């Protein structure tokens, strides 16, 4: 799943899971496979040679293992292997400054380790325009970038902007 909105594109290594489980779910293989998926799939969505930023899991990218070892054990080795395979990828980068750089245009997509690490910045920047794009399918699949909003369903309060953006992204991907 890639969420896109405004100047940000965000992809997660882990799925919806408790924060307490994230560190154990971050592996070199998972990070590497996501980087390669991004590099293979983004050209289909208009980014010919994606510049990929990979977020660190821990504050300050682990501070030389003082704040965690995921960067040196999993994330950095995956980035190194992807770079050796010809991918334009950078990381592990501290998440507290990474999104500013992405919004400024330094990166085309940010690979984050877990849900809130990437979706909070994206939704702060472009909540009503956020689009969910499923990568790696043989078909084009887009949807709104937010939940169902059952609390306002049928009240005439929903903003259709995200749905319009989802349709636009699908049409562009289809060459329409």
- Look at residue 147 in the predicted model and tell me its pLDDT: 78
Q: In the CATH scheme, what is the code of domain 2-128?
A: 3.40.718.10
Inter-axis angle of helices 95-103 and 115-126, to 10 degrees? 40
Q: What is the pLDDT of residue 28?
A: 98
Nearest residue to 35 via CA among 73, 80, 68, 71: 80
Q: What is the pLDDT of residue 63?
A: 83
Residue 66, classed as helix, strand or coil, is coil
State residue 165's pLDDT score: 93
| 49-88 pLDDT, tens digit each | 999 999 999 988 878 888 888 999 999 999 999 999 999 9
Give residue 74's pLDDT.
96
pLDDT < 70 regions, the chain = none
**Distance (Å, whole) CA 83 – CA 100:** 23
**pLDDT attached to residue 61:** 83
């Amino acid at each position: 799943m890639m969420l896109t909105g405004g100047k940000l594109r965000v992809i997660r290594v882990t799925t919806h899971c408790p924060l307490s489980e994230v560190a154990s779910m971050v592996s070199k293989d998972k990070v590497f496979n996501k980087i390669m998926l991004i590099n293979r799939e983004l050209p289909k969505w208009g980014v010919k040679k994606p510049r990929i930023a990979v977020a660190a899991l821990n504050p300050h990218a682990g501070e030389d293992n003082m704040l965690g070892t995921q960067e040196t054990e999993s994330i950095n080795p995956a980035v190194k292997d992807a770079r050796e395979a010809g991918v334009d990828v950078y990381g592990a980068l501290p998440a507290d400054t990474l999104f500013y750089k992405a919004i400024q245009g330094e990166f085309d997509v940010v690979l984050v380790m877990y849900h809130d690490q990437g979706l909070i910045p994206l939704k702060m920047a472009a909540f009503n325009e956020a689009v969910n794009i499923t990568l790696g399918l043989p078909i084009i699949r887009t949807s709104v970038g937010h939940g169902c909003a059952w609390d306002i369903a049928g009240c005439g309060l929903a903003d259709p902007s995200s749905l319009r953006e989802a349709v636009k992204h699908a049409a562009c991907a289809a060459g329409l």
